[in-house]
C-alpha cells in the first residue's frame, strides 16, 4: 500500500512539476538571481538610463558592425510559396552586400528551384532527397556568412528580424540564437487547434531559461548559429532540439531573442496538430535516447535541471499519466476510510480531464478544447515513441496540413 501510494504521488508530482512547477520555479529564480551575463553589450545596457524604453535587443545596430549572414531555406516541393519566401528574405532590413539567401532544394520534383532563382535567391542547390537536415548541411558547406541562419519555406520574417537575431552574437559566448514565432490563421469551432495557448506559455518559459542560463529547445522558423559553431547531427535528428543542448555542451550559450519575429501558419485542426507532433516526436526520441541529451557531460547543474524538467519529464508525461491513473484506481480499491475518499477525489480529477477532452467535440468551449489539446498532444508523445521503436524514423519530411 505504501509503495503504491509513493508511486502515485511521485507520478502526480512529476506531472505537476514539469507542466506548472518548473515555470513557477524559473519565474521565482529570475526575481532573485542575476541574468546570465552577455558580455560587453550587457554592460553597456546596464549603464543606460533607467528610463530607456529599449529592451535587450531593441536598439538599432550600425551596418558596419553587422556580420555577413547566410539565410538558408530548406525546401521540398515548395513552388507555391518559395518565391514569396525569397522575396521576404531579400526585403529584410539588412545590408544586401552582407546578406546571402540560399535555397536548398531537397529532391524537389516541382518548380521550386526555378521559382527560387526567379525570385532572386543568391544560391539554389538542387540536391537528392536526403531530408531537411542533410539539405541544411549542404547549404552551410556552400555558405559564406559568418553567421548562418535558418528558416522554413512557409515562414515570414519581420523586416528587422535578421538584425535582431544576429545581435545575440555580439556576446562571444553565444553560439545559438532563436527568435520568436507567432502562429497565425487559427480557426474556431470544435476542431480548432489550441497550439497558440501552449505556445505562448512555452515562449514565456523559454525567455526565463534564456535569462538564467540557456534555452533547452528552439524552433525551425527563425534561428541561427555562428558558422564556426554549426554542428552536423544525424539527419533524422532535427535542429530544434539537438542544437541548443549540444551548443551548451561545447561551452557556449543558446539564447532566445524575442524581438526577432517570424510568423507561420498554424495547423488549422487539432487532428492535424496531433499528426504533426507525432511526426516531430518520432524525430525527438532518437535525440533523447541516443543523441547525447541524456549524458550530463558538459551541462552545468542548473542547465541539467532544466533539461530534466522541461525535456525529459515533459516527454515522459504520457507514461507518468498512465502510471498515476493505474495506481489511483488500485488505491481506490485497496484503501479505506479517509484515504479512500482522498483517492476517489484524485481519480475523479483525472477522469474529469478525459471527460472534458471527450466533450470538446460536441461542446467547443475553450476549457474543453484546451483539455482535448492537452490529452491529444500528450498522447502524441507516446505515439511518436511507438513509431520510432516500430518503424524507425526517416530523414525526410512532409508538409503539415494547412500550413502553406
Asked if residue 209 belongs to a domain, the reply is yes
Instruction: Give the model's pLDDT for residue 37.
Output: 58
Cell numbers 543606460 correspond to 48
> Which residues are 100's β-sheet partners?
70
Within-domain flag for 372: no
CB contact burial 46-68 (16+ within 10 A = b; e otherwise)? eeeeeeeeeebbeeebeeeebeb
**What is the dihedral sign for C-alpha 305, 306, 312, 313?**
positive
Within a domain: 401:
no
**pLDDT reported for residue 87:** 98
pLDDT at 198 (0 to 100): 84
Contact 342, 12 (CB under 8 A): no
Name the helix (H) or strand (E) containing 376. Answer: helix 366-391
Measured CA angle at 335 (ends 331, 337), to 5 deg: 140
In angstroms, the Cα distances linking 363 to 9, 28, 360, 370 are 32, 37, 5, 12
The secondary structure of residue 352, as a DSSP letter, is H
* Structural domain harbouring 129: 58-269
Q: What is the pLDDT of residues 300-335, one digit of tens each?
A: 999 999 999 999 999 999 999 999 999 999 999 998
Q: Is residue 241 part of a domain?
A: yes
Structurally, how many domains does the chain consist of? 1
4 alpha carbon, distance to own chain's centre: 35
76: domain CATH number? 3.90.550.10
pLDDT value of position 117: 97
pLDDT at 271: 81
Q: Is residue 78 part of a domain?
A: yes
Specify if 107 maps to a domain.
Answer: yes
**Cα–Cα distance measured from residue 222 to residue 218, given in angstroms and rounded to the nearest whole number:** 9
Distance CA 220, CA 374 (A): 22
What's the pLDDT at 310? 97
Predicted confidence at residue 400, as pLDDT, reads 63
Count other C-beta atoms under 10 Å from residue 390's C-beta: 8
Cα–Cα dist 165/280, whole Å: 25
pLDDT value at residue 344? 97
pLDDT of residue 41: 44
> How many whole angstroms separate alpha carbon 243 and alpha carbon 220?
11
Nearest CA to 274 out of 347, 191, 213 is that of 191
Residues of the chain short of pLDDT 70, as ranges, are 37-64, 186-195, 400-404
What CA–CA distances, in Å, run from 323 to 12, 96, 332, 376, 382?
A: 9, 56, 14, 17, 13
Q: How far apart are CA 263 and CA 156, in angstroms?
A: 5
How high is the pLDDT of residue 314? Answer: 97
pLDDT of residue 53: 30
pLDDT of residue 394: 86
| Eight-state DSSP code of residue 126 | E
Buried b (16+ CB within 10 A) or exposed e, 316-341: bbbebbebbbebbebbbeebeeeeee
Amino acid at each position: 500500500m505504501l509503495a503504491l501510494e509513493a508511486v502515485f504521488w511521485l507520478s502526480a508530482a512529476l506531472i505537476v512539476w514539469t507542466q506548472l512547477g518548473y515555470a513557477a520555479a524559473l519565474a521565482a529564480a529570475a526575481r532573485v538571481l542575476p541574468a546570465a551575463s552577455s558580455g560587453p553589450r550587457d554592460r553597456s545596457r546596464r549603464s543606460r538610463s533607467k528610463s530607456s524604453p529599449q529592451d535587450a535587443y531593441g536598439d538599432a545596430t550600425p551596418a558596419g558592425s553587422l556580420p555577413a549572414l547566410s539565410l538558408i531555406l530548406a525546401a521540398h516541393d515548395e513552388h507555391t510559396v518559395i518565391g514569396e519566401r525569397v522575396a521576404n528574405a531579400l526585403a529584410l532590413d539588412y545590408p544586401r552586400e552582407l546578406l546571402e539567401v540560399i535555397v536548398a532544394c531537397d529532391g524537389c520534383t516541382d518548380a521550386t528551384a526555378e521559382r527560387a532563382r526567379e525570385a532572386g535567391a543568391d544560391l539554389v542547390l538542387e540536391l537528392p532527397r536526403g531530408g531537411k537536415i542533410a539539405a541544411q548541411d549542404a547549404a552551410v558547406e556552400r555558405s559564406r556568412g559568418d553567421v548562418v541562419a535558418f528558416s522554413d519555406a512557409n515562414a515570414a520574417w519581420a523586416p528587422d528580424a535578421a538584425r535582431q537575431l544576429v545581435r545575440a552574437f555580439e556576446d562571444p559566448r553565444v553560439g545559438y540564437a532563436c527568435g520568436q514565432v507567432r502562429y497565425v490563421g487559427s480557426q474556431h469551432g470544435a476542431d480548432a487547434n489550441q497550439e497558440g495557448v501552449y505556445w505562448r506559455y512555452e515562449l514565456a518559459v523559454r525567455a526565463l531559461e534564456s535569462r538564467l542560463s540557456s534555452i533547452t529547445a528552439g524552433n525551425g522558423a527563425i534561428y541561427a548559429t555562428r558558422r564556426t559553431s554549426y554542428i552536423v547531427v544525424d539527419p533524422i535528428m532535427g535542429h530544434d532540439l539537438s542544437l541548443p543542448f549540444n551548443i551548451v555542451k561545447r561551452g557556449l550559450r543558446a539564447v532566445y531573442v524575442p524581438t526577432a519575429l517570424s510568423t507561420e501558419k498554424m495547423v488549422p485542426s487539432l487532428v492535424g496538430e496531433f499528426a504533426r507532433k507525432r511526426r516531430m516526436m518520432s524525430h525527438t526520441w532518437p535525440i533523447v535516447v541516443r543523441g547525447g541529451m541524456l549524458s550530463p557531460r558538459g551541462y552545468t547543474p542548473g542547465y541539467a535541471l532544466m533539461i530534466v524538467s522541461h525535456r525529459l519529464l515533459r516527454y515522459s508525461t504520457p507514461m507518468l499519466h498512465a502510471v498515476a491513473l493505474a495506481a489511483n484506481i488500485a488505491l481506490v480499491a485497496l484503501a479505506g476510510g479517509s484515504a479512500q475518499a482522498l483517492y476517489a477525489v484524485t481519480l475523479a480529477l483525472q477522469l474529469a480531464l478525459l471527460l472534458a477532452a471527450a466533450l470538446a467535440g460536441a461542446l467547443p468551449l475553450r476549457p474543453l478544447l484546451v483539455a482535448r489539446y492537452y490529452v491529444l498532444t500528450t498522447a502524441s508523445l507516446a505515439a511518436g515513441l511507438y513509431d520510432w521503436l516500430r518503424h524507425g524514423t526517416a530523414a525526410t519530411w512532409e508538409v503539415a496540413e494547412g500550413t502553406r
